[in-house]
């Protein structure tokens, strides 16, 4: 598995950057000629992870969000979304559908469920007060 | 600004573009102020012009289910395009009986 392309992005945890992150990731994966549905899946999963960093990771203020993305020669897309925010105390609880710590903001508690359903693999690592890294990967089917 | 339509106690809100966390709060405030002013018997959320939606849109639907319920009205989610059907299905909002 060789990496054939990669990119690194760093932006402030402003909610206007959710759309920016989606646009960048769409443009990046376009070389694999994904279907509309594959592209929508990736955009949605990235939107969830970035929103989590903004709403939860940096809930006490603002900070930078880092996206590292790679494309492999086996048509796999690997996207790492990282923040240096408050971290997640209990990852398995955070990943349970409908669990949310921000109901007053009408967060549905579905972010991780969406990521897991729309991507092939979701890995989460986090340390309280150090930050959270979410790694999403998805195989893009071969050219039709 | 949201396109809306009100007649015969039915408030229809035409959502459009990308619904994410950034836009959800503004949409929520705008719809809720109309719900409280008009006290409709039904709120139709029309998704036909929505090009993207993440789980913020699900929070928006569930929240409006509650806010229109508080004034005695019912919610309908209408014209869901294929592109956002998957997240709607995954969310379980169909169990609220609002999908039309």
Probe site for chain B from A21, A97, A108, A136 (most B CB atoms < 10 A) = A108
> Is pLDDT at A144 greater than 70 in this prediction?
no
Q: What is the CATH number of the domain that holds B19?
A: 3.30.750.24
Radius of gyration of chain B (CA): 12
Classify B17 as helix, strand or coil.
Answer: strand
Q: Which residue of B has its CA nearest to A105?
A: B25
Residues of A taking part in catalysis: 48, 52, 107
Q: Which residues in chain B touch residue A106, judged by CB atoms under 8 angstroms apart? A: 24, 28, 56, 59-60, 62-63
Residue B97 binned pLDDT confidence (cut-offs 50, 70, 90): confident
Q: How many domains does chain B have?
A: 1
- Look up the domain containing A112 and give its range: 3-139
- Average pLDDT over all residues of chain A: 95
pLDDT per residue over B75-88, tens digit each? 999 999 998 999 99
A87 with A128: CB under 8 angstroms?
Answer: yes
Q: Does A117 contact B90 at a Cβ distance shorter than 8 Å? A: yes
Q: Which residue of B has its CA nearest to A46?
A: B54
Residue A118: CB atoms within 10 Å: 24
CA B33 to chain centre: 14
Nearest to A18 among B20, B53, B86 (CB): B20
pLDDT per residue over A98-137, tens digit each? 889 888 888 889 999 999 999 999 999 999 999 999 999 9
Give the C-alpha separation, A76 to A32, whole Å.
9
Cβ pairs A/B, distance under 8 A: 68
Return the closest-CA partner of residue A139 out of A32, A21, A8, A5: A32
Q: How many domains does chain A have?
A: 1
Burial (Cβ within 10 Å: 0-12, 13-18, ≥19) of residue A70: middle
- Look up the domain containing B33 and give its range: 3-96
Query: Is beta strand B42-53 parallel, antiparallel or unpaired with respect to B10-19?
Result: parallel
Return the closest-CA partner of residue A1 out of A61, A103, A60, A78: A78
Instruction: Calculate mean pLDDT across residues A78-84.
Output: 98
Q: Which residues in chain B touch residue A15, judged by CB atoms under 8 angstroms apart? A: 20-22
Task: Give B14's contacts (C-beta < 8 A, 6+ positions apart).
Answer: B2, B3, B4, B5, B46, B48, B49
Nearest to B87 among A18, A36, A114 (CB): A114
Q: Does A107 contact B55 at a Cβ distance shorter than 8 Å? A: yes
Return the closest-CA partner of residue A136 out of A114, A120, A117: A120
């Amino acid at each position: 598995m060789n990496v054939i392309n990669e990119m690194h992005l760093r932006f402030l945890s402003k909610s206007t950057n959710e759309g920016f992150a989606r646009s960048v990731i769409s443009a990046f994966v376009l070389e694999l000629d994904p279907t509309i549905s594959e592209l929508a899946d990736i955009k949605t999963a990235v939107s969830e992870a970035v929103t989590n960093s903004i709403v939860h990771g940096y809930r006490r203020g603002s900070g930078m969000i880092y996206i590292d993305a790679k494309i492999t020669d086996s048509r796999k897309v690997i996207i790492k979304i990282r923040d240096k925010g408050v971290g997640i105390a209990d990852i398995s609880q955070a990943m349970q559908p409908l669990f949310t710590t921000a109901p007053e903001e009408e967060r549905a508690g579905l972010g991780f469920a969406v990521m897991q359903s729309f991507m092939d693999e979701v890995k989460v690592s986090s340390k309280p007060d150090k930050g959270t890294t979410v790694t999403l990967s998805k195989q893009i089917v071969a050219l039709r | 600004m949201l396109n809306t339509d009100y007649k015969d106690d039915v408030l229809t809100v035409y959502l459009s573009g990308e619904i994410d966390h950034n836009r959800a709060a503004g949409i929520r405030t705008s719809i809720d102020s109309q719900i409280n002013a008009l006290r409709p018997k039904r709120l139709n959320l029309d998704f036909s012009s929505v090009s993207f939606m993440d789980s913020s849109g699900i929070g928006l639907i569930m929240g409006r289910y509650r806010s229109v319920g508080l004034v005695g009205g019912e919610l309908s989610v209408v014209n869901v395009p294929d592109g956002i059907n998957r997240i709607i299905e995954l969310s379980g909002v169909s169990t609220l009986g609002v999908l039309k």
